[in-house]
Each structure stands twice: as structure tokens, then as C-alpha cells.
Amino acid sequence: MYERALRRVATGGSSAVGATTPGNGMSDEFYQDAPSLGNQFETDVLLRAYLEWRLPPAIRDQVTPELFHLGERAVTELLALGDAAEAEPPRHVPYDPWGRRVDRIEVSDAWRALDRISAETGLVATAFERRHGAWSRVHQMAMLYLFHPSSATYSCPLAMTDGAARFLELHGDARTREAFDRLTSRDPSRFWTSGQWMTERTGGSDVSGTSTVARLDESGNTYRLYGTKWFTSATTSQMAITLARIEGAPAGGRGLSAFFVQLRDGDGALRGIRVNRLKDKLGTRALPTAELTLDGTPALLVGGAGDGVRKIASLFNVTRVYNAVAAVSGMRRALALAHDYAARRQAFGKRLADHPLHAETLAGLDARFHAAFHLTFQVVELLGREETGEATDAELAMLRLLTPVAKLFTAKQAVLVASEVMESFGGAGYIEDTRIPRLLRDAQVLPIWEGTTNVLSLDVWRAIERTDALAPWLEHVRAEMAGVRHPSCAIAAFAVRSAAELIGAYVRRTTEPAQRELSARRLAFAIARTAAASRLVAHAEWEAARSAADPESTAPAVERMSRWLARDLAAGLDVVAP
């Protein structure tokens, strides 16, 4: 399958999505050209402008060739592998031919190739090698952004691998050192991926109800886990980080502890783990997601007993950033296809792109994508600063606030954009072998896993209440907007600053817990929109300064900013209305 997929690439069919059969020469027959994708780095005006804006020139020069190369692979080799993995979903083999329980999960060659390429490319390692200091996260997430949309969501195992590595970096010890080295290795033969087993039958969001029990075994060093994990993604991973309640520990989240599990023994047999079945999901079909029973699974307690939710937050705060990057890169891919198609497709006597209403619709989606991108990469920058110890207290508080904000906002935007892009293809968008439906199916998981929109909205209040995270962010927006000088951005800067002040006033006057809960979602979206707007304006200002010699060239950034502010920022502030 993998070989066949690569041969398709070699014969030039790969980057055309759902390529059509060539015409048969009869002049009265019409065949629609498929949309096609160019190098995903070279053609991404926003990514390249962002890197030029933010990265120190020496770092930008170092990472650009690598990103260019990955941008090419994204529409050739990786795209073919992603398609091949999707066409051959994982299979659960519970028994061997002689009746022994084996619980093998078989995945395609393509899925395995994506694992190898991920290691070799350093998709996780780059973040931990920290060759570019705090900018290493931007470098890594730019790579992930190019990789994700072609990868059949191999980004999911990578997200959990990265989160687990961060968790072990913070809480691990000598016993987990080898695991950390493997998670961050570039050597495919050593590279491990990790699962993140948090969800049980009692509920994915309410982790405090976890009923898996941990009992210390006779050795006194190792625990044994007993329970059921209801969603375990990337179950072919070599290890997992999970939560369990040590026997006798109190109920609730505080009584949970975090554990390291190595899934298989030296012979490849699962260690006290039964695979009950694979989930039959709407999307992410190449990704194995299983229900597991843990029956005496050996596990190491990591980070000491208790407060497991707070400790494992270091893992899921990383996977939430991955989620946001996956969301914006999915939007970018969908829009690249929609734009290309609009330039080919003729209707009512001209190209779709030449119909003002169609062009206007795509421009509105572009603006949403740009806003989501800027918010996401602001969080990526903050994460990089946290991990290298360079973040100030104010930046740490902003990271705490903007991580759930970026995750919840971009996930919803990704679904909206995928749905609109599907519609922009008309009936063809609804047909499986155009591959357009996958865009929507794979986007729809983004608001669900890693914390639903409402759960994360409540987390925003938690961040405001427990870490006083709003004040530093408000100060940041004030300072960012105060630096805006270009006349075409000044009114926008005033609007963004006003929006931030309105949010600040709203939070101060909303003291009733019930009112806080009721408004949580609208508040989270208001913060998301204002944070994104602040970055859009700052970016437009930079574009304006860069092209001072040619005022015309600032127009797209300024126009996009104005369009988005007028529609989305204003509409998103209903929460602050008296």
C-alpha cells in the first residue's frame, strides 16, 4: 500500500486531491480539474510572514530550508502516506489462530512510516533539543503545522509523546530517564510514542471520578493498576501516562496520582492489559483508539502520590497547544484547496474566484484563519519561553490563560472553516473520494478531545481566579496596542484596547459564581477574539512598517485585520454588554 502510494507520487498524481481521469478527447464532455496543492511552506504567505516578523534573522535562516523541504514532502510523500494510512485503518486481532489471547493492533505500513519520518524529522525532538532556545517551540510547531494536515492525524501520537516528555522532564526521575530519551529521540529504532490515558467510562471531562485503583506490589517499588480506560488514543504506543487512585487515597481529583506504564514486555506481550475493542470513530480513522482493561498492569508512580490532575496538566497543556496548531493547519489546508479550486472551477460563465460573493466568502474565512493562527503562535511563543525558564511571571500567567482560550477558539473555527470549505466545493465536497469530507470529519474531533469547549471555558475562569491571569494579559494588550503607529492601524488598536478594557471591567463586576459559570463560554470567546485581534493589529503594523516604501503592499494585512475586527471582534463582545 505504501509502495503503491509512493508510486502515485512519482507519477505526479499526489498533490491533486481526488485527481480525475483525463478526458477522452470528446470536445463536448466536461471534466472538472481537481484542486492541487503547491509546496505548503512556499505557498503559505502567512506562515512565512509570521516567521519573518517574529524569528531572529539568524534562526529564520537556519530553519527556512528545513521548512521548505517539509512543505514539499507535505504534498508528496506525506500526503500519499496519510492517504494510504486512512485507506487501511487499524485492526484489532484479539486471538491468535490457536485461541491464545494476543490483543494485537495491526496498523498499516504507511502509519509506521509516518512514525519513522516523525522521529527522523525531529518533530518532537526539536522542542527538547532547544537549539534555538525559546524559539525552538516555534520552529517545532511550524514543522508540525506543515506535517499535520497530510499525516492522517499522526500528530495525535506526537502530541501525547511531547506532552509525556514534558511531564517526565518536570516530574520524572532516574527510573523514567530512558523513556524520556526515547520520546525525544531522532532515531526511529529508539523512538517511542506515548499514550495519555485519562478518560474512563464515568466521563472524559470529569477526571476526578477516575476509578482505576493502584496497589503496591510485593516488591514495594511497583504499583499494579486495575480499572478500565475508555478512550486510549494511539494504543500502539510503547508507553502511557495515566491516572489512578492509590488504595486508600481520598476521593476526588486530589486523591489521584500519575503513573508511567510501559505497555509491553520484552517479547511484545501486553503487560496486564486487555484490548476490549477499537473505537469506530467519525474521523481520525487511521488512528487506533481503544478501550482497555487494566488488570494488574505494572506502573511506576511519577511525581509522588496525590495531586495527579495538577501534575498531568503539564502534559495536557502541551497537547492542547498541539490541538490549536492542528486546528489552524487544518484550516490552512482547507483554504488552500478552496482557493485553488475557485481558480479552476467555472460556473455562470467565469471562475468561482471571479464571483465577488464567492471571493468575499473565502476572504472572510481567510481572516478567521489568520486570527486563529496569530493567537495560536502567541501561545507557542509563550510555551517556548516557559520551557527555557525565560518567561516572566506575567508571561507564565498569560500562558495559563491563553492555552485553553486558544484551544477552544481554534477548534471551533476549524470546524466552521472545514464546513464552509466543503460547501465551497458544492456537491463534490460531499463526496468521499474528493477527500474533502475528511477535512470536516477530522476537524470535528478538535473541540471534543483535550477538553470540550465548555470545560475549557470553565478552565479560563479557573485561571483567572487561581492565578490572576487576566491582569497581565490586559497589560500586555495595552502595551502592544500602545506601540501601534501606522495610521491605518490606529483605529483598530483603539478598538482592541477598548475591547480588552471592557473584558477587564466585566470580570471585575461579575463576582457571583453562578453568573461566572453561565458566562464562561462567551467570556472565553471574547478573550480569544480580543487576543487574536491584538496580534492581528500588531502584525498589520509590522507589515505596514516593513513596506513603508510601498504603501499599497500593506493593504492585504490591513484589510484582513479590519474585516475581522468589524465582524468577529465586535460580535464576540456580547458578554460584556451591561
In the complex, the residues that contact ligand MFK under the rule CB under 6 A are: 155-156, 159-160, 196, 198-199, 204-205, 207-208, 233, 253, 309-310, 313, 316-317, 319, 322-323, 326, 449-451, 455, 459, 462, 466
Rounded to a whole number of angstroms, the minimum distance from the CB of residue 112 to ligand MFK is 19
- By beta-carbon proximity to ligand MFK, the closer residue of 321 and 544 is 321
Q: How many CA atoms lie within 13 A of 498 on its CB side?
A: 11
Rounded to a whole number of angstroms, the minimum distance from the CB of residue 459 to ligand MFK is 5
- By beta-carbon proximity to ligand MFK, the closer residue of 208 and 547 is 208
User: How many Cβ atoms from other residues are within 10 Å of residue 226's Cβ?
Assistant: 18
Q: Which residues, including other chains, have CB under 8 Å from residue 298's CB and lie 6 or more apart?
A: 217, 222, 223, 224, 261, 262, 271, 272
CB 410 within 8 A of CB 372: yes
Rounded to a whole number of angstroms, the minimum distance from the CB of residue 205 to ligand MFK is 4
- By beta-carbon proximity to ligand MFK, the closer residue of 403 and 554 is 403
- By beta-carbon proximity to ligand MFK, the closer residue of 33 and 395 is 395
- By beta-carbon proximity to ligand MFK, the closer residue of 449 and 525 is 449
- By beta-carbon proximity to ligand MFK, the closer residue of 127 and 160 is 160
Rounded to a whole number of angstroms, the minimum distance from the CB of residue 231 to ligand MFK is 6
- By beta-carbon proximity to ligand MFK, the closer residue of 408 and 565 is 408
C-alpha cell at 253: 481529583
Enumerate long-range contacts of 129-134, CB under 8 Å, 24 or more apart. 129/184, 130/387, 130/388, 132/59, 132/62, 132/63, 133/384, 133/388, 133/390, 134/381, 134/384, 134/385, 134/387, 134/388, 134/390
**How many Å apart are CA 24 and CA 34, to the nearest integer?**
16
CB 169 within 8 A of CB 180: yes
Rounded to a whole number of angstroms, the minimum distance from the CB of residue 206 to ligand MFK is 7
C-alpha cell at 43: 505557498
Q: What share of the chain is helix, strand, coil (3-state, %, to 5)?
A: 60, 15, 25
Closest among 321, 347, 467, 344 to 407, alpha carbons compared? 321
- By beta-carbon proximity to ligand MFK, the closer residue of 341 and 373 is 373
Rounded to a whole number of angstroms, the minimum distance from the CB of residue 520 to ligand MFK is 12
Rounded to a whole number of angstroms, the minimum distance from the CB of residue 342 to ligand MFK is 28
Enumerate long-range contacts of 549-554, CB under 8 Å, 24 or more apart. 554/486, 554/488
Rounded to a whole number of angstroms, the minimum distance from the CB of residue 256 to ligand MFK is 8
C-alpha cell at 142: 511550524
Rounded to a whole number of angstroms, the minimum distance from the CB of residue 323 to ligand MFK is 4
Which string of b and e fits 27-65 if b means at least 16 CB within 10 Å?
eeeeeeebbbbebbbebbebbbbbbebbbeeebbeebbe
- By beta-carbon proximity to ligand MFK, the closer residue of 314 and 488 is 314
Q: Which residue is nearest to ligand MFK (CB)?
A: 253
